Amino acid sequence: MSKITVSFTVNGKKTTLTSIPNRTLLDVLREDLGLTGAKDACGGEGECGACTVLLDGKPINSCLVFIGQIESGNLTTIEGLALKGHYHPIQRAFVETGAVQCGYCTPGAVMAVKALIDNSPHPSDDEIREGLSGNLCRCTGYNKMVDAVHQVINEASNG
Ligand code: FES
Ligand code: FES
C-alpha cells in the first residue's frame, strides 16, 4: 500500500508524518508520537471511549479515525491539557473527587469533559451524563465524574 504524508497539529505543535493511510489515529498517536494517554479498552471497536481525543475541539474515538482523515486537523490529547507540569483543573477534580480508580478510562473521560465544558460551561447533570455516555468506566460509576465536573464549574465560577 502506498504511503501518504499528513500534516496536522497536536497539542499546539505542527506535525508531519508519513504513514500507510489506513492506520488509526490512535495507533499513530501511541506508536509514532509517543502520546500514550489515549487507550484502547475495547479492541478499537468504538465502544469504550478510552481513546477519546479532541479534533478541532470535538471529541472523537481515535480508534475509528484513519490517519489520512486528519489532514490539517487540530488535535488535543490528554498530554496537551496539563499546564506547565500541573494538572489541568479537570484532571485535578477527577483525582480529588475519587473519579479515578484504575485510571484506564480517565484520559478519555477527561477529554470528553473538556469538550463538554468548552461547549457548555454550565451543563446540567443530564448533560454531563450525556457528555460522558460514550466513555465506559468499569470502576467508579459516573456519580464521581459528575461531582468532578461540578467542582470544575464551581472553581471557574469562584475565579
Ligand atoms: S478503543 Fe474503545 S472506543 Fe476507541
Ligand atoms: S477508573 Fe477504571 S475503568 Fe474507569
pLDDT 10s digits, 120-137: 999 999 999 999 999 999
Residue 129, exposed/middle/buried by CB under 10 A (0-12, 13-18, 19+)? middle
- Determine the Cα–Cα distance for residues 14 and 6; give it in Å rounded to an integer: 11
Read off the amino acid at residue 144. K
For residue 1, pLDDT over 90 is answered with no
The DSSP code sequence of 93-107 is HHHHTT--SS-SSHH
For residue 33, pLDDT over 90 is answered with yes
pLDDT above 90 covers a percentage of the chain that reads 93
- Determine the Cα–Cα distance for residues 79 and 62; give it in Å rounded to an integer: 15
When comparing pLDDT for 141 and 16, which is higher? Answer: 16
Closest-lying ligand 2 atom to the alpha carbon of residue 139: 2
State the pLDDT at residue 83. Answer: 77
For residue 141, pLDDT over 90 is answered with no
Strand partners, 83: 86
> What's the gap between Cα 101 and its chain centre?
17
Q: Minimum-distance ligand to the CA of 60?
A: 1
Closest-lying ligand 1 atom to the alpha carbon of residue 64: 4
Read off the amino acid at residue 133. S
* C-alpha distance across the termini of the chain, in Å: 53
Model-level pTM? 0.96
When comparing pLDDT for 83 and 24, which is higher? Answer: 24
pLDDT above 70 covers a percentage of the chain that reads 99
For residue 84, pLDDT over 80 is answered with no
Average pLDDT over every residue of 24-48: 97
Q: What is the signed CA dihedral for 126, 132, 138, 139, rounded to 10 degrees?
A: -70
Query: Which pLDDT band holds residue 158 (cuts at 50, 70, 90)?
Result: confident
For residue 148, pLDDT over 90 is answered with yes
Q: Minimum-distance ligand to the CA of 49?
A: 1
For residue 48, pLDDT over 80 is answered with yes
Closest-lying ligand 2 atom to the alpha carbon of residue 100: 1
Give residue 24 CA to ligand 1 midpoint distance, Å: 11
Average pLDDT over every residue of 26-33: 98
Read off the amino acid at residue 2. S
Of 21, 20, 68, 28, the residue nearest 44 (C-alpha): 28
* Alpha-helix residue ranges (DSSP H) falling in 63-158: 89-96, 106-119, 125-131, 143-157
